[in-house]
Structures are given as structure tokens and as C-alpha cells.
């Protein structure tokens, strides 16, 4: 029996960005009561946003940050 393990760390972000130019800060956040950033593009990183950061803190660093929830169905279709 053969097994393969694939790791796509930016898949959540890529389902939202869809190959766009990525000039505007963009992030994906998950969590019920206190959502945290799970993926972000280079523009958000340049603004100081980091994975694991609370959305409120990320918005304080990058007021124009576009935050989206994960889209598991879209991720499943892309793989």
C-alpha cells in the first residue's frame, strides 16, 4: 500500500486570492470567539501581520486588511 502526504500551507489563502496580484493586505482567520490569522499574503506580512495573531491586533497594524473565513469546500475542490 502506498501513501502520500501533501501539505499546502497557503491553500486557504489561495482559494480566496485566486491568483490575484496580491497588492492589498489579505488574510484568512479562523476561530469562534477570538478568530486568529491562519494565512496571509506578502502585503499583510509587510504591514506586520503574523500567523496566530488575533484579528483585532492585525487590523490595528493594517487597517485596510481584508479578512476572510476559511472556505473548506473550495479548498477540497482545489486539491
Q: What is the predicted pLDDT for the residue at 47?
A: 95
Q: What is the predicted pLDDT for the residue at 11?
A: 82
Q: What is the predicted pLDDT for the residue at 77?
A: 79
**From first to last of its 79 residues, what are the pLDDT tens digits of the chain?**
889 888 887 888 888 877 666 688 999 999 989 999 999 999 999 999 999 999 999 999 999 999 999 887 877 777 6
Give exposure, 35-74, as e/b (b: 16+ Cβ within 10 Å): bebbbbbebbeebebeeebebeebbeebeebebeebeeee
Could you tell me the pTM of the whole model?
Answer: 0.80
Amino acid at each position: 500500500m502506498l501513501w502520500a502526504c501533501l501539505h499546502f500551507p497557503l491553500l486557504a489563502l489561495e482559494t480566496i486570492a485566486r491568483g490575484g496580484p496580491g497588492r492589498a493586505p489579505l488574510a484568512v482567520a479562523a476561530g469562534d470567539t477570538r478568530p486568529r490569522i491562519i494565512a496571509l499574503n506578502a502585503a499583510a506580512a509587510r504591514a506586520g501581520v503574523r500567523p496566530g495573531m488575533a484579528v483585532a491586533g492585525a487590523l490595528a497594524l493594517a487597517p485596510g486588511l481584508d479578512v476572510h473565513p476559511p472556505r473548506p469546500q473550495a479548498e477540497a475542490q482545489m486539491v
